[in-house]
Structure 1
């Protein structure tokens, strides 16, 4: 069974909707709302069709497809420049140090400060893999194919890139962080606020969120202990991001307190190591395991395969990968070692 990643199309709506119902909340980029998903697919269609090879305000949506039966079993997204339609808010952990000479005491208070530091960055997000397919490295294919897409369309992405990881969600579907911080000001449950954000954007945060720093010591214990902690299902994703040279630098999500990972775009390992080469053969029997991609914008496709890079700088891949990508000898492909 061969899977490939390809550009999403309007016809993928029902596939995405069915997967959105499986997310369990806290997944803003994949709301279980047909109208919102339709707008997302239409925006992706516009992004794939834009001819200017420049940085814009685009959202690219990709889907993971079983190339044998056409079933869509996963999705991911790339945002070329966040914070363009409305502010991109984060909390940043900071420390305030104060000293009293009379008491001869120094006090260091940890604060959560509402910031828009990350505006203008690119973002990789919206990654979801169907629970029935969480084996065989398909999550890695979804995640790393995004970096191949960036490498192949580098001029369309910013010099800084981020990834937001979902924070801790309790058994009832609520967020201890939301309940301890923002929920006190909004009169909304986490699920209500998260859904509203997914459908309408987060301008209501700008309208209602207190702009003064929040002293962490004043939060309840449940809220404090989840700050910057990923959801248990996101720990593997955090390790993958760290392997790609992303780092947690004290930025957390304003809704669930999950960590935001950042790095320079050209420092991402899979982007730095990606290379374009001409196909010399498509019948390789043995070689190095790799991610292989081809096609510009809406023609983008990627899949796992085997590769061998020749002394002349050309590349050979296996027949199964070539069939999944629809490529032949003489075509150009990008690849990175798995």
Structure 2
């Protein structure tokens, strides 16, 4: 498995992903012109010299090098809300109190806001069902943090992730059903497609401007505020382990939670390691001096390039911290466009399980594909 920047040759695969992912996946929509523009924006962003985050959009694909097929996708928006408003509801509490009458009532309210303008957003994570295998979901999620760690000037101090909210198999959201009945007579699939394409004028024109008292919503709508889709729970748990937390901000359409973290405190950013590569061939003298770590552990390894970025997962690497050297098979180094002595960055994903090499196509036990389908 190799992660690389998207190219125009990936358009058919992205179109298929847009169809497979359904209406809850707003960052890829089934519109050829939209997808062509998204690919070109990503190509331009990887190529652009950047000293501070702007409107760059980085889209990666996970490729099976044996077949060239696109297995999945994952992305980063460098600074959201600059050209098109990024709306959220913020859940807070107000108190109505009359000392004279001895009456007291505390109620939750939702206020529309643009709190996360300028923040970096991780998004567009999708693993296709036919490509379930060990560590693919983890690699798609955490490779973004390796890229941030290597190129911090391209990203904001605060990183967010909008988690998919609760909807049923027909793609209907209980939260949106209530809003539709009272304010915006458009179905959930239509509004998410409009928002995904950047057409957000209807939000300013039709959505309620004043606080929504949650006790006036239907019971079904109240029950899903700040809740994630069942398929998204493992992805949320993964981000929570990285240090992301929910601070009361929810999506405008399905009320799914938005979680946030400080970029440099994200676990995979703070604990990633820069190193030199020793490419090990059949006749390579192998250095064993000093402490060895990493042997038998599953690592995500990436080169340090931007436009030529490559990353993969392996349990065949050994790190020598006394020398700052990561020993990897020569074939793996070539797949990452790394030469002997080249610079790389890695982070540990998990302990390796005996008998399961990275090349074997087994699914992740206890973390089936559907749990990553709508990760972000």
TM-score (norm 1): 0.95
Q: Show the counterpart of 1:73.
A: 71
Q: Contact between 1:183 and 1:189, CA under 8 Å: does it hold in 2?
A: no
Does 1:328 find its partner at 2:326? no
1:180-219 superposed matches below 5 A: 180-181=178-179, 184-219=182-217
- SS of the residue corresponding to residue 25 of structure 2 reads coil
Q: Is the 8 A contact 1:294 1:325 kept in 2?
A: yes
**Cα distance between partner residues in 2 of 1:318 and 1:211:** 58
- 1:203-242 correspondence runs (5 A): 203-242=201-240
Cα deviation 1:60-91 (Å, max 9, x = unaligned) = 00000001111001001100000111111100
Match for residue 304 of structure 1 among 310, 313, 316: 313
1:294 deviates by 0.7
**How many angstroms apart in 1 are the aligned matches of 2:275 and 2:200?**
43
TM-superposed CA distance for 1:182, in Å, is: 5.2
Select the residue among 23, 31, 34 that pairs with 2:21. 23
User: Which residue number in structure 1 is paired with residue 47 of structure 2?
Assistant: 49
The answer to whether the aligner puts 1:292 opposite 2:290 as a matched pair is no
CA root-mean-square deviation: 1.6
TM-score (norm 2): 0.86
Gaps of 5+ in 2: 287-293, 350-376
Kept in 2, the 8 Å contact 1:87–1:203? The answer is no
Matched residues in 2 for 1:334 and 1:150: separation? 11
Q: Deviations over 1:228-277 (max 9, x none)?
A: 11111100100010010000111100011111011111111001111211
Describe the shift of the 1:150–1:189 C-alpha distance in structure 2 as closer, same or farther (beyond 3 A).
same
Question: 2-side partners of 1:208 and 1:282: how far apart?
Answer: 62
CA contact (8 A) 1:166 1:230 kept: yes
Residue by residue over 1:77-131, the C-alpha shift from the partner in whole angstroms, topping out at 9 and shown as x without a partner, is: 1000001111111001000012122442321110011011111100000101101
Relative to structure 2, which stretch is displaced further, 183-192 or 247-256? 183-192
- The SS at the match of 2:346 is strand
1:124-159 deviation digits (Å, cap 9, x = unpaired): 001011012233121110000010011111101000
Aligned to 1:39: 37
Paired residue secondary structure (1:333): strand
Question: Matched residue pairs, number?
Answer: 336
Structure 1 position 7, deviation (Å): 0.3
Say if 2:295 and 2:319, in contact at 8 Å, map to a contact too: no
Residues 1:114 and 1:320: Cα distance change in structure 2 (over 3 Å): same
Q: 1:314 corresponds to which residue?
A: 325
Q: 8 Å contact 1:182–1:255 — kept in the other structure?
A: no
Q: Which 5+ residue runs of structure 1 have no aligned equivalent?
A: none
Instruction: Give, in angstroms, the shift of residue 309 of structure 1.
Output: 2.2
Range that drifts further, 195-204 or 251-260? 195-204
Distance 2:342 2:87 in 1: 43
SS of the residue corresponding to residue 233 of structure 1 reads: helix
For 1:65-104, list aligned pairs within 5 A. Answer: 65-104=63-102
